[in-house]
Structure 1
Amino acid sequence: MFFIAGGTGFIGSHLVRALAGGSYSTRCLARTPEKAEVCKKIGHEAVIGDITDRESLKGRLDNCDIVVHLVGIIEEKGDMTFKRVHVEGTRNLIEEAKGANIKHIFYQSALGASINSWAKYYKTKAEAEDIVRTCGIPYTIFRSSLVIGKSDGFTEKLKELVRLGPFVPIPGSGNGKLQPIYVEDWVKCFLKIFSDASRITHYASRIYEFGGPEHLTYNEIVLQLMEAMQIHKPLVHIPAKLIKLSLPFSGISRKIGSLLGKKIPTVTGEQLGLLQVDNICDMDSVEGNFGFVPMTYREALKKFIVNG
Structure 2
Amino acid sequence: MILVTGGTGLVGSHLLLRLVNDNIEVRALYRTNEKLEQVKKIFGYYSPNAKKLFKKINWVKGDILDIPSLELAFREVTHVYHCAAYISFNPSDFKLLERINREGTANVVNMCIALGVKKLCHVSTIGTIGKPNSNDKATEETEWSRQHANPYAITKHLAEMEVWRGAQEQLQIVIVNPGVILGPGFWENGSGTFFKTASKGYPFYPPGGSGFITIADVTRSMVELMNSKITGERFILVAKNLSYKEILSQITSTMGKKAPKKELKIWQLQLGKFGDQIRNIVTGKARTITNSTIYGLLHTTEFDNSKISKALEFEFQPLDETIKFSAKLFTEEHS
Fold shared, TM-score > 0.5 on shorter chain: yes
Q: Does 1:54 align with 2:67?
A: yes
1:116 aligns to 2:145 (yes or no) = yes
Deviation at 1:210, TM superposition (A): 2.6
Instruction: Compute the displacement of 1:96 (Å).
Output: 2.3
Show the counterpart of 1:161.
197
Question: Residue 148 in 1 paired to residue 163 in 2?
Answer: no
Offset of 1:182 from its aligned partner?
Answer: 0.6
Report matched runs for 1:104-253 at 5 Å.
Answer: 104-113=119-128, 116-118=145-147, 119=149, 120-135=151-166, 136=169, 137-152=171-186, 153-164=189-200, 167-171=202-206, 174=207, 176-195=208-227, 202-212=229-239, 214-250=240-276
Task: Give the partner amino acid of 1:13.
Answer: S
Deviation at 1:14, TM superposition (A): 0.7
Deviation of 1:23 (Å): 3.8
2:288 pairs with 267, 275, 279, which one?
Answer: 267
1:206 Cα offset (Å): 1.4
Unaligned runs of 5+ in 2: 41-52, 131-143, 281-285, 331-335
Deviations 1:79-125 (A, max 9, x none): 67321221111112222222222121110011241662231222221
Corresponding position of 1:305: 327
User: Residues of 1 paired with 2:209 and 2:276: CA distance?
Assistant: 26
Contact in 2 for aligned 1:150/1:304 (Cα 8 Å): yes
Paired AA for residue 51 in structure 1: I
State the shift of 1:62 in Å: 1.6
Over the aligned positions, Cα root-mean-square deviation in angstroms equals 3.0
How do 1:28-39 and structure 2 match up within 5 A? 28-35=28-35
Match 2:81 to one of 61, 68, 80: 68
Match for residue 101 of structure 1? 116
Q: Using the alignment, how far apart are the partners of 1:244 and 1:53 within structure 2? A: 40
**TM-score in terms of structure 2 length:** 0.75
Residue 34 to residue 121, structure 1, CA distance change in 2 (3 Å): closer
Q: How many residues align?
A: 290
Counterparts of 1:235 and 1:72 in 2: how far apart (Å)? 35
Structure-2 separation of matches of 1:84 and 1:9 = 18
Q: CA deviation at 1:164?
A: 3.3
Aligned partners of 1:24 and 1:76: how far apart in 2?
35
The answer to whether the aligner puts 1:16 opposite 2:28 as a matched pair is: no
Q: Distance in 2 between matches of 1:25 and 1:249?
A: 49
**1:168-210: CA deviations, max 9, x gaps?**
3334xx1x23221111111221222234xxxx6x543211123
* Structure 1: 5+ residue stretches without partners: 255-264
Q: Supply the distance in 1 between the matched residues of 2:278 and 2:96 (Cα, whole angstroms).
A: 23
- For residue 306 of structure 1, report the CA deviation from its aligned partner: 4.4
Structure 1 residue 247: deviation in Å?
A: 3.3
**TM-score under structure 1 normalisation?**
0.81
CA offset digits 1:121-158 (Å, max 9, x no partner)? 22221211110111221101001211111124333212
Deviation at 1:289, TM superposition (A): 3.3
Worse overlay, 31-40 or 202-211 = 31-40
Taking a change above 3 Å as real, the CA distance of residues 34 and 92 of structure 1, as seen in their structure-2 partners, is same
Secondary structure of the corresponding residue to residue 63 of structure 1: coil
